[in-house]
A and B are shown apart, each in its own frame.
Chain A
Amino acid sequence: MEDKLVIRGIEFKSRLWVGTGKYRNFEETARAIEASGADVVTVAVRRTNIFNRDSENLLDYIDPRKYKILPNTAGCYTVEDALRYSRLAREAGVSDLIKLEVIGDEKTLFPDTPGLLKATEILAKEGFIVLPYTNDDPVMARRLVDAGAAAVMPLAAPIGSGLGIRNPYNIKIILEQATTPVIVDAGVGTASDAAVAMELGCDAVLLNTAIAGADDPVAMAMAMKHAVIAGRLAYRAGRIPRKLYATASSPIEGML
């Protein structure tokens, strides 16, 4: 059965998207990403090391012909900075995709939603395919789409917290009203969290720390791959309703 994720005409093979941060080295990054089956990888934009040209480059390990590179604006606290990083990212890369972050608070890394909305509007007009990292607020999700976002990426919990989906009901409401894909971004801690996101009906899950920070990132990458596939299948299959009392699975008829 055909079940592809498409955003603005771009087809995605995998519903698991992964970050490339916090790995011990590039070799481990490459192995974990390969094991995850993801075809989208997020990257950050930073100053090139001009003093040590022997230092290796991430793209030596993550082939941009094989993976869709999704640059982020992580670390940006103002609209101005987010625009600057987005434009640099487009110039350094090969596509109009941008994972837009405008951060509002250092401790929680929660988004500054008024700034996010403004930046989304400006970048969408400039032809970017804007994927904003937002909170789990259904009203904001709608406003972002009205402003030109190609998808919305509500957080499950704070970035790197591993708390899982703290407010599944809000995610459900965001999904109910969605006219674009919804991708849960941030806060996933383990495979069951990713499965829950997919069972709710999310179109994809984006995570980084849950894999990179695991004792065995390659094994966790495989677990996430299967969790996302399982969660998606379960969503499409349609789960049974929850009931308080038992219903026997074996027939009464024929009993002695």
Chain B
Amino acid sequence: MKLTINGNGTEVKDGLTVKGLLECLEIEPARVAVEVNLRIIRKDDFHTHELKDGDSVEIVNFVGGG
């Protein structure tokens, strides 16, 4: 299936959860927030929330700022 991750179209395997996607991307879940189709997915739900074809996923973290 195709996802848009942080604005980039990416092909991933079907049935992937948010947790699975973060694992694929080698991203530490503790330090990020994830939004799917503008809805925040709580960390507790990472392992159950299944992504669907066409989903728009945003993964954010903290960077230097004032």
Contacts and interface: CB of A to CB of B under 8 A. Distances in A.
Contact of B65 (A48, A72, A93): A72
B11 to A, nearest CB: 14
Nearest to A29: B64
Interface in A191-247: 207-209
A91 interface: yes
A7 interface: no
Interface residues of B, number: 25
A88 interface: yes
A59 B8 contact: no
Interface residues of A, number: 36
B33 A88 contact: yes
B8 to A, nearest CB: 7
B60 A88 contact: yes
Given A57-B31, A91-B33, A92-B33, A42 B66 contact: yes
Given A53-B27, A88-B33, A92-B32, A47 B66 contact: no
Interface string B52-64: 0000001111111
B66 A48 contact: no
B64 A48 contact: no
Contacts of A20: 64-66
Contacts of B60: 45-48, 88, 92
23 contacts: A19-B64, A21-B64, A21-B65, A22-B64, A22-B66, A23-B64, A43-B63, A43-B65, A45-B62, A46-B61, A47-B60, A50-B8, A50-B59, A58-B63, A59-B31, A72-B65, A74-B66, A87-B40, A88-B58, A88-B60, A91-B43, A92-B61, A186-B66
